[in-house]
Amino acid sequence: MDETESKQINDNSDMIENEKQQSKNVYVSCELIEHGFMVDNSNGVRVCSIINKEYGGRPVIFENYTGEIIDKEKFFAIKRNHREKMKSGIPPFECTDCPMLIEKEWDDNDYIDNLLFAHWVDCNSRCIYCGATTEEFVRENYKYYDFTPAIEEMIKNGSLIKSAKIDFAGGEPTVYPEFERLLSVFLREGFSNIYVNTSGIKYSQSITRALKNNQITLTISIDAGTKKMHKKVKCVSSFDKVWANIYKYSKAQQEANSKEKICLKYVFVPKVNVQKREIDIFFKNVIKANVDYVALSLDMLWWEKHKYDNNEKLIKMANYFIEQSKEKNLKLTIYPWARWLLESGIS
Ligand SMILES: C[S@@+](CC[C@H](N)C(=O)[O-])C[C@H]1O[C@@H](n2cnc3c(N)ncnc32)[C@H](O)[C@@H]1O
Ligand code: SF4
Ligand code: SF4
């Protein structure tokens, strides 16, 4: 076989492979472009909350949104437009080189299975690591709104499917009057893939109900062992309240006979809360409250500034945290910044 014939055979098999892929609807895209959206705290409806290097990330669906009922046709026309860009091989600029992009077979249907609420601003804590925009700025520049009616309509018209991942972030979800109502809608409609991130300061009846019905995973950042350190990180005196609420939530988990539905998180803030003593007391408290799930994270703003430093001591403490969780038989989640820290120590 000469060179020309061999090239022809290769070209043909590439063509056949391409045709096969196209008929199977295989292309590079991301779960959120295909079936997700989020609401942010600057009246934006966006595809995701991922900040993607210099490209920005977070492609826009609508701007100036203030809680109106979402027109199903208009909404999915914009979603389809994003999808078509992915199919054509030229993603929206914001998504260029995003690590969330993957090649796989996608379906062409119009539905949402991933929704993030981040349109709230107020918080009852003042964590020293929190990068959220200040309430004052947001209140001056944007309009707060109630999203529940629009969500009820999306459930009713089939835009939002029951297996969807529903993620409550913030500000602090539990301080909003809308929170109990909105969570109750999802509970009533039988959603069971719900995630709530909370400071844990304000007790929520709906969270307890969701735990009893096995419909929720709850994450509370404790970030300390002692009361003194908790105050230093949170800048409010809430240690006793938070633990009293954790005990109530833990009781609900036990009543449901379920596991790993309450996650207590430790965000490492270097030079503040990363001491063996604090970690030891944290684990003691976790066990005492009958909680079986912990998470390790790292202040992402610190990481951005210090990722090229010698972080040997910090890595040692992160490994100590991991050992403790294993020793105590706890489920462990490691958030990306802590994972990158650990990976930076592997030569
Ligand atoms: C912005 S908060 C909103 C929800 C709620 N107020 C809370 O604290 O869980 C969502 C999550 O982001 C985490 N977070 C905030 N700032 C962070 C930072 N600089 N580095 C790592 N995680 C951070 C918090 O620990 C929390 O689990
Ligand atoms: S590819 Fe990245 S930036 Fe684009 S929508 Fe997906 S997660 Fe967001
Ligand atoms: S509780 Fe959440 S939103 Fe409030 S300051 Fe802490 S991390 Fe930020």
Please write the tens of the pLDDT for every residue from 241-264.
999 999 999 999 999 999 999 999
Cβ–ligand 2 distance for 59 under 6 Å, the answer yes
The amino acid sitting at 315 is: I
CA of 46 to the centre of ligand 2 (A): 10
Q: What is the pLDDT of residue 125?
A: 92
Q: Compute the distance from residue 61 Cα to the ligand 3 centre, in Å.
A: 26
The pLDDT tens digits for 95-140 are 999 989 999 999 999 999 999 999 888 889 999 999 776 677 777 8
Structural domains of the chain sorted by starting position, each given as residue range(s) with its CATH number in brackets = 111-344 (3.20.20.70)
Task: Evaluate whether 242 touches 220 at the Cβ level (below 8 Å).
Answer: yes
Task: Decide whether any atom of ligand 3 lies within 6 Å of the 130 Cβ.
Answer: yes
Residue 139's pLDDT is 77
Both tokens of 238, joined, read: 């809430």
pLDDT in tens, 22-37: 567 999 999 999 999 9
Say whether 208 sits in a helix, a strand or coil: helix
pLDDT value at position 140? 80
Per-residue model confidence (pLDDT) at position 13:
61
Atom of ligand 3 minimally distant from the CA of 132? 8
Q: Which ligand is nearest to the CA of 131?
A: 1
Low-confidence ranges of the chain (pLDDT < 50): none
pLDDT for the residue numbered 184:
96
In whole angstroms, give the CA distance from residue 347 to residue 336: 19
Distances (CA, A) of 133 to 21, 138, 190, 317: 43, 7, 33, 30
